[in-house]
């Protein structure tokens, strides 16, 4: 292994991660138990599981927003802390978390501003990203003038601003209606196609996980752990995908895995075949 | 424009009806001015002695502005300290509440003795004390009560605490700051005015109200009251205008 080639084909590597809240107290919670997960560069991974199973916690450990009790997370071949400091990931949350005192464009500029980009360079980059999420016309608007879906698109543009190789998304479409949600899913896939990013995507929706992902990571609560990883092979997605045989097979496989039936493997085999 | 007119005429109409009823009551019942002077008497005094009114308002208004400025400055500095150091917050908040609970009526004679009574200083200090509290309490809350997700976002972007303060906490506190100012600005006029009842220079609104009433010039005393109300309103409207200009996002539905 050469020291001069820091380029890694592994986007994220989680090794033996434990997270225990309030350790040693009466309200102790083991949010994560021995999580091992590798995400290859360019891969789209969904985390799915019942509420409280530790999806957000896992994402926050990878983002270095919280420290694991045990184990470690690596992003782009470096420690999670270094990756955060070097802005090797972009993050989007269920709440768009836009700043009301900034225009839409200046919200997208925020990460660039923190990186010390010049005014004109960051304005140009922000406009490029707003074009990508089809909100260029709203650059001068204030966040509250936008619908929930539009706000979420701004948040996604912001997470892409520094062009990080990895996107961490915690239920970004959770607050949207079904129609908007499907449109946003297609948009996210298109953006991912255009940019080649790796994505870790937390969701409660089985169809959403299957539609978007290369692999669906199924988790179970108390203690939070990975119980199953389901490969999805839908090829390039379009509107027909949602009605395709393989899509339903994937949905069934994930649903069964969530119910804790290892019989999911039969359905899983079909996902690959069809 | 027609929208603004529509917003203005109902209170104007109500005021006119109210004043007419008042005038009618005083005339018909022949109420003596020391009980209740008629609006025409008050307004006659107000416009008749307009220069006097204006000068008194300027004097008291200047005290109020000085107190408002210094009180706001102290409130802001302490709020920043309280956000930065939890200890300061725990120390100052009860102290500030205690200070705010001291009635200015009790404090004024004492401060008049401590400082030169003929100067404006004791009155400015009284006003400062009154103004400081709402500013401190509200701004501290605005600096601390930031959406957790926005804090996480800043951390994910590797923002330093100073950047978080400048880009998130301070803008977040601005609506709180204006809420405080909307309370503090008219309050500063009241504080400046009341502090004049305890001696010192005689050119302010408070002194004039007191001396006019003592000289049985009730119409004029009330005219000074009108001048005080107008001064307080002007203070409030200035804050409102500055808020519109400096923080156009306040009062809007917040985005998620
Ligand atoms: N800061 C914290 N302090 C204590 N316990 C916490 C904390 N954060 C999370 N937990 C606990 O850890 C567990 C996992 O929480 P987490 O937010 O990761 O779940 P989740 O899978 O994202 O749930 P949801 O789908 O509802 O968002 C929960 O039991 C929760 O109560
Ligand atoms: Mg969560």
Asked if residue B147 and residue B73 are part of one domain, the reply reads yes
Question: What's the mean pLDDT in B188-196?
Answer: 91
Question: What's the mean pLDDT in B68-93?
Answer: 88
Contact A142 B252 (CB under 8 A): yes
Among all ligands shown, which has an atom nearest to the Cα of A57?
A: 1
For chain A, the distance separating the N- and C-terminal CA atoms, rounded to the nearest angstrom, is 39
Asked if residue B9 and residue B124 are part of one domain, the reply reads no
- Residue-wise pLDDT tens digits, A137-167: 999 999 999 998 899 999 999 999 999 999 9
Rounded CA-CA distance A42/A200 in Å is 10
Chain A environment of B153 (Cβ under 8 Å): 91, 93, 97
Q: Average per-residue pLDDT in chain A?
A: 88
**Of the candidates A30, A23, A20, A17, the residue with the CA atom closest to the CA atom of residue A80:** A17
Looking at ligand 1, which residue's alpha carbon is closest to its atom 31? A52
Which residues in B have their CB inside 8 Å of a CB on A?
A: 147, 149-150, 152-153, 155-159, 163, 167-168, 171, 174, 247-249, 252-256
Does residue A230 contact residue A215 with C-beta atoms inside 8 Å?
yes
Contact B255 A84 (CB under 8 A): no
Contact B147 A95 (CB under 8 A): yes
* Reported CATH class of domain A6-88+166-270: alpha beta
Cβ of A159 below 6 Å from ligand 1: no
Cβ of A57 below 6 Å from ligand 1: yes
So what's the pLDDT on residue A7? 54
So what's the pLDDT on residue A187? 86
Asked if residue B201 and residue B98 are part of one domain, the reply reads yes
- Residue-wise pLDDT tens digits, B10-51: 888 898 999 899 999 988 888 887 788 888 889 998 898 899
Number of H helices, E strands in chain B: 11, 0
Residue A29, number of CB atoms within 10 A of its CB = 18
- Residue-wise pLDDT tens digits, B96-106: 777 777 777 77
Encode A39-61: b = buried (16+ Cβ within 10 Å), e = exposed: bebebbbbbbbeeebbbbbbbbb
Instruction: Provide the residue range defining the domain that includes B17.
Output: 1-29
Asked if residue B6 and residue B109 are part of one domain, the reply reads no
Return the percentage of chain A with pLDDT > 90, whole number. Answer: 62
Question: What's the mean pLDDT in A21-37?
Answer: 90
Contact A99 B152 (CB under 8 A): no
So what's the pLDDT on residue B256? 42
Collapsing DSSP to helix, strand or coil, A170 comes out as strand
So what's the pLDDT on residue A71? 92
List, in order, residues 6 or more apart from B205 with CB less than 8 Å away.
B56, B57, B59, B60, B193, B196, B224, B227, B228, B231
A100 → closest Cβ in B155, B159, B252: B252
**Of the candidates A100, A99, A79, A97, the residue with the CA atom closest to the CA atom of residue A88:** A79
Angle at B46 between CA B44 and CA B50, to 5 degrees: 120
So what's the pLDDT on residue A3? 44
Q: Would residue B3 count as lying in a domain?
A: yes
Does residue B79 contact residue B176 with C-beta atoms inside 8 Å?
no
Tokens for B138, please give them. 């509200």
d(CA B254, nearest CA chain A) in Å = 6
Q: Would residue B142 count as lying in a domain?
A: yes
With 70 as the cut, is the pLDDT of residue A9 above it? yes
Residue A151 touches chain B, beta carbons under 8 Å: yes
Please tell me the least confidently modeled range out of A62-66, A78-82, A236-240.
A236-240
Contact A99 B167 (CB under 8 A): yes
- Residue-wise pLDDT tens digits, B201-233: 888 898 899 888 888 888 889 999 999 999 999
- Residue-wise pLDDT tens digits, A204-229: 999 999 999 999 999 998 889 999 99
Strand pairing category for A44-48 and A215-220: parallel
Q: Quick one: pLDDT band at residue A5, thresholds 50, 70, 90?
A: very low
So what's the pLDDT on residue A100? 92
Which 66-95 residues of chain A touch chain B by CB within 8 A? 84-85, 87, 89-91, 93, 95
Q: Quick one: pLDDT band at residue A271, thresholds 50, 70, 90?
A: low
Rounded CA-CA distance A161/B239 in Å is 37
List, in order, residues 6 or more apart from A84 with CB less than 8 Å away.
A63, A64, A65, A75, B155, B156, B158
So what's the pLDDT on residue B64? 95
Residue B233, number of CB atoms within 10 A of its CB = 13
So what's the pLDDT on residue B2? 59
Asked if residue B139 and residue B24 are part of one domain, the reply reads no
Complex ipTM value: 0.86
Rounded CA-CA distance B179/B97 in Å is 18
Asked if residue B57 and residue B131 are part of one domain, the reply reads yes
Tokens for B239, please give them. 């804050």
Cβ of A63 below 6 Å from ligand 1: no
So what's the pLDDT on residue B63? 94
- Residue-wise pLDDT tens digits, B120-156: 888 999 999 889 989 999 999 999 999 999 999 999 9
Residue B198, number of CB atoms within 10 A of its CB = 21
With 80 as the cut, is the pLDDT of residue A264 above it? no
Residue ranges matching CATH 3.40.50.300 in chain A: 6-88+166-270
Rounded CA-CA distance A120/A100 in Å is 22
Structural domains in chain B (count)? 2
Encode A114-134: b = buried (16+ Cβ within 10 Å), e = exposed: beebeeeebbebbeebbebbe
Residue whose pair of structure tokens reads 């009341």 in the numeric block: B194
CATH number for the domain harbouring residue B109: 1.10.3720.10
Please tell me the least confidently modeled range out of A36-45, A106-115, A227-236, B65-74.
A227-236
């Amino acid at each position: 292994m050469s020291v001069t080639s820091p380029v890694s084909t592994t986007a994220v590597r989680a090794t033996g991660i434990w997270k225990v809240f309030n350790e040693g107290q009466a309200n102790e919670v083991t949010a994560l138990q021995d999580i091992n997960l590798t995400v290859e560069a360019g891969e789209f991974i969904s985390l799915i599981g019942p509420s409280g199973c530790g999806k957000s916690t896992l994402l926050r450990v990878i983002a270095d927003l919280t420290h694991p009790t045990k184990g470690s997370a690596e992003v782009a071949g470096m420690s999670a802390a270094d990756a955060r400091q070097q802005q090797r990931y972009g993050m989007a949350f269920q709440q768009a978390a836009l700043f009301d005192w900034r225009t839409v464009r200046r919200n997208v500029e925020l990460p660039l501003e923190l990186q010390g980009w010049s005014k004109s360079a960051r304005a140009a980059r922000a406009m490029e990203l707003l074009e990508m999420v089809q909100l260029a016309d709203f650059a001068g608007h204030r966040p509250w003038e936008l619908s929930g879906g539009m706000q979420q698109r701004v948040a996604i543009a912001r997470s892409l601003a520094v062009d990080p190789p990895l996107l961490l998304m915690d239920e970004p479409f959770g607050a949207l209606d079904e129609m908007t949600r499907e449109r946003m899913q297609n948009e996210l896939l298109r953006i991912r196609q255009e940019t080649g990013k790796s994505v870790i995507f937390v969701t409660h929706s089985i169809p959403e996980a299957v539609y978007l992902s290369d692999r669906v990571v199924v988790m179970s609560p108390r203690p939070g752990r990975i119980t199953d990883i389901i490969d999805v092979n839908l090829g390039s997605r379009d509107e027909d995908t949602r009605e395709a045989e393989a899509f339903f097979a994937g949905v069934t496989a994930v649903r069964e895995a969530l119910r804790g039936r290892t019989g999911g493997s039969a359905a899983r085999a079909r996902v690959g075949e069809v | 424009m027609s929208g603004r007119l529509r917003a203005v005429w109902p209170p104007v109409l109500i005021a006119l009806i109210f004043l007419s009823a008042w005038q009618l009551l005083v005339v018909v019942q022949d109420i003596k001015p020391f009980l209740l002077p008629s609006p025409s008497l008050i307004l006659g005094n107000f416009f008749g002695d307009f220069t006097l009114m204006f000068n008194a308002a300027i004097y008291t208004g200047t005290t109020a502005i000085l107190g408002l400025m210094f009180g706001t400055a102290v409130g802001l500095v302490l709020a920043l300290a309280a956000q930065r150091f939890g200890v300061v917050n725990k120390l100052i908040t009860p102290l500030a509440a205690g200070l705010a609970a001291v009635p200015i009526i009790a404090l004024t004679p004492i401060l008049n003795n401590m400082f030169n009574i003929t100067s404006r200083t004791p009155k400015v200090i009284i006003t400062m004390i009154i103004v400081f509290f709402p500013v401190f309490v509200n701004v501290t809350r605005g600096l601390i009560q930031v959406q957790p997700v926005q804090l996480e976002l800043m951390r994910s972007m590797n923002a330093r605490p100073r950047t978080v303060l400048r880009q998130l906490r301070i803008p977040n506190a601005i609506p709180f700051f204006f809420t405080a100012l909307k309370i503090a600005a008219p309050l500063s006029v009241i504080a400046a005015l009341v502090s004049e009842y305890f001696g010192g220079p005689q050119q302010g609104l408070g002194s004039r109200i007191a001396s006019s009433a003592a000289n049985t010039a009730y119409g004029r005393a009330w005219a000074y009251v009108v001048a005080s109300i107008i001064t307080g309103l002007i203070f409030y409207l200035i804050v409102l205008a500055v808020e519109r200009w400096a923080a156009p996002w306040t009062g809007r539905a917040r985005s998620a």
